């Protein structure tokens, strides 16, 4: 009996020890719109489980990526009676209802514009809903809804409908033409978070493309117009190991996109397209940030003049112009140094100097196209960022790039959000 009593005492002691150093309670401070129940399920740290500083740091990193949060810190206090811990997450929220507007010029209209309104943190659960109207000689509009955590903390959906129109340059036989392009699409994706760093999206879209000749050169091999129904299957993998301190970023991010497109016509073949973006961010001193993005993309090497990759101001090389060429492969490196010029309360003025380098493979060409001087573009430049620290993605950017390679141009590029 004495042995049994001794064993019971030992077991009770071990049980008592195992119940110590656990998280007794998780509290939240600063939450106004963010849904506390959602955040509690979202994080890895849980009440009743062992206190783990590594998990807490992961939680801070993951929470600061949510649209509704601009910054997170935490404190830990020990309960001297229970020998357990109380954790307090202190959050600073973003204002998340954001109007969107931009103004630019085109050959068709001296005042093209886009206006829209988006809610980036609907119901405090990181849901996005919104839409836009655009006019650039052609009326366009779109609606978007994203709920990446609709079903649980790891599973959700994204969907959108868009009716987009533009005047597109088409390049063939060392000349070019201008076509009116209309794209109507509906997309549905499933979103699954495999870990706090990695997310997979899988789904597809049905869409219609319409091209109509407007002006420029013609060819017997290039139709003056066509209307195509297409189906696109899409797979996206996003690895995000970025750490945010308001607008300052440190870490790496890698996004891979794979798509298969099939259509109803004989003019264009079925094709595959894939591209990978690798981004690296390094904080330098208190307010400096070095940022680099490397993009490599390839598609089926068809000879169609309507190739999927384009060389463009707003996508890859600042100052090069609006869609100056197309190809079936692309290589782009954007690197820049960002530094704070002025900061007071919520406002930040940031300056940057950059170099954008890119080349591409011509339709039907080979990999040597990437190194041909006529296909390489090198554009250094400088820019400014006007930022609000507590409004989601409230960054107005202005960049001026000038080409130092063959056929170099120069120009201003406006936009919302960092270039990458």
Q: What is the CATH number of the domain that holds 258?
A: 2.40.160.50
First-to-last alpha carbon distance for the chain, in angstroms, is 72
Q: What is the CATH number of the domain that holds 32?
A: 3.10.20.310
User: In this structure, are 339 and 244 located in the same domain?
Assistant: yes
- DSSP bridge pairs for 155: 192
DSSP string, 94-113: PB-EEEEEEEE--SS-S-EE
User: Would you say 333 and 292 are in contact if contact means Cβ atoms under 8 Å apart?
Assistant: yes
Domain C-terminal end among 92, 122, 145: 92
User: In this structure, are 76 and 111 located in the same domain?
Assistant: no
User: In this structure, are 65 and 185 located in the same domain?
Assistant: no
User: In this structure, are 270 and 396 located in the same domain?
Assistant: yes
d(CA 291, CA 251): 10
Residue 53 lies in a domain: yes
User: In this structure, are 337 and 259 located in the same domain?
Assistant: yes
- DSSP bridge pairs for 256: 237, 276
pLDDT at 291: 98
User: Would you say 133 and 114 are in contact if contact means Cβ atoms under 8 Å apart?
Assistant: yes
Look at the chain and report how many structural domains it folds into.
2
SS3 call for 1: coil
Residue 1 lies in a domain: no
Domain C-terminal end among 39, 62, 92: 92
Which run of H or of E encompasses 54?
helix 53-63
Residue 405 belongs to what domain range? 97-416
Domain C-terminal end among 44, 64, 92: 92
**H-type helices in 161-250, by residue range?**
none
d(CA 270, CA 232): 10
User: Would you say 251 and 241 are in contact if contact means Cβ atoms under 8 Å apart?
Assistant: yes
User: Would you say 225 and 247 are in contact if contact means Cβ atoms under 8 Å apart?
Assistant: no
Which run of H or of E encompasses 168?
strand 155-172
Residue 195 lies in a domain: yes
User: In this structure, are 82 and 101 located in the same domain?
Assistant: no
Enter the pTM of the model.
Answer: 0.86
Residue 27 lies in a domain: yes
User: In this structure, are 124 and 268 located in the same domain?
Assistant: yes
pLDDT at 133: 97
SS3 call for 121: strand
What is residue 321's DSSP assignment? -
d(CA 234, CA 298): 15
Give, for all 420 residues of the chain, the pLDDT tens digit.
555 655 555 545 444 445 578 999 999 999 999 999 999 999 999 999 999 999 999 999 999 999 999 999 999 999 999 999 999 999 999 999 998 887 776 666 677 889 999 999 999 999 999 999 999 889 999 999 999 999 999 999 999 999 999 888 888 888 889 999 999 999 999 999 999 999 999 999 999 999 999 989 988 888 888 888 999 999 999 999 999 999 999 999 999 999 999 976 666 678 899 999 999 999 999 999 999 999 999 999 988 777 889 888 888 999 998 788 889 999 999 999 999 999 999 999 999 999 999 999 999 899 999 999 999 999 999 999 999 999 998 999 999 999 999 888 888 888 888 999
User: Would you say 317 and 377 are in contact if contact means Cβ atoms under 8 Å apart?
Assistant: yes
Residue 74 lies in a domain: yes
User: In this structure, are 104 and 71 located in the same domain?
Assistant: no
| Cβ atoms < 10 Å from Cβ of 15 | 9
If we measure between CA atoms, which residue out of 397, 401, 369, 393 comes closest to residue 385? Answer: 397
Residue 317 lies in a domain: yes
* C-alpha count within 13 angstroms, C-beta hemisphere, residue 305: 23
Q: Which residue has the tokens 């399920």?
A: 41
Q: Which two tokens stand for residue 14?
A: 């071990």
Q: Which residue has the tokens 């990695």?
A: 198
User: In this structure, are 145 and 239 located in the same domain?
Assistant: yes
Instruction: Give the phi and the psi of residue 73 in degrees, each rounded to 5.
Output: -135, 170
Residue 376 lies in a domain: yes
Q: Which two tokens stand for residue 401?
A: 């790039």
The strand pair at 23-29 and 84-93 is best described as: parallel
User: In this structure, are 81 and 101 located in the same domain?
Assistant: no
User: In this structure, are 59 and 106 located in the same domain?
Assistant: no
Q: Which residue has the tokens 């002006």?
A: 215
User: In this structure, are 126 and 169 located in the same domain?
Assistant: yes
* Helices and strands: H and E segment counts in the chain: 3, 21
Which residue spans within 246-308 are E strands per DSSP? Answer: 248-263, 271-284, 288-299
d(CA 213, CA 206): 24
Residue 114 lies in a domain: yes
């Amino acid at each position: 009996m004495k042995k049994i009593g001794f064993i019971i005492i030992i077991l009770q002691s071990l049980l008592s020890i195992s119940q110590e150093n656990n998280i007794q309670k998780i509290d939240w401070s600063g939450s106004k719109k963010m849904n506390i129940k959602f955040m509690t399920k979202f994080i890895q740290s849980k009440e009743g489980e062992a206190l783990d500083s590594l998990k807490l740091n992961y939680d801070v990193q993951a929470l600061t990526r949510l649209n509704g949060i601009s910054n997170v810190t935490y404190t830990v206090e020990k309960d001297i009676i229970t020998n357990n811990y109380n954790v307090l997450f202190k959050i600073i929220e973003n204002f998340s209802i954001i109007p969107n507007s931009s103004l630019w010029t085109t050959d068709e209209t001296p005042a093209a514009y886009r206006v829209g309104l988006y809610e980036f943190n609907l119901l405090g659960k990181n849901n996005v809903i919104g839409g836009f109207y655009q006019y650039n000689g052609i009326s366009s509009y779109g609606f978007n809804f994203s709920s990446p955590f609709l079903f649980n903390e790891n599973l959700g959906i994204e969907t959108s409908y868009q009716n987009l129109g533009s005047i597109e340059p088409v390049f063939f036989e060392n000349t070019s033409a201008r076509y009116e392009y209309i794209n109507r699409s509906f997309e549905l994706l499933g979103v699954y978070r495999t870990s706090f760093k990695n997310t997979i999206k899988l789904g597809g879209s049905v869409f219609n493309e319409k091209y109509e000749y407007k002006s420029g050169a013609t060819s017997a091999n290039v139709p003056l117009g066509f209307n195509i129904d297409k189906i696109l299957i899409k797979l996206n993998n996003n690895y995000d190991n970025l750490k945010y301190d308001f607008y300052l970023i440190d870490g790496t991010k890698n996004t891979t996109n794979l798509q298969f497109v099939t259509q109803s016509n004989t003019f264009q073949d079925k094709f595959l397209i894939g591209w990978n973006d690798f981004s690296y961010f390094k904080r330098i001193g208190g307010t400096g940030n070095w940022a680099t993005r490397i993009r490599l993309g390839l598609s089926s090497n068809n000879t169609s003049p309507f190739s999927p990759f384009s060389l463009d101001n707003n996508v890859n090389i600042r100052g090069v112009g609006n869609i100056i060429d197309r190809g079936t492969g692309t290589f782009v490196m954007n690197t820049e140094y960002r530094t704070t010029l002025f900061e007071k309360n919520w406002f930040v003025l940031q300056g940057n100097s950059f170099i954008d380098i890119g080349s591409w493979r011509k339709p039907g060409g080979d990999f040597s196209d990437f190194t041909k001087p006529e296909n390489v573009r090198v554009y250094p430049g400088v820019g400014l960022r006007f930022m609000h620290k507590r409004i989601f993605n409230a960054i107005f950017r202005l960049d001026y790039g000038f080409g130092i390679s063959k056929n170099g141009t120069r120009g201003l590029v406006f936009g919302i959000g960092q270039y990458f």
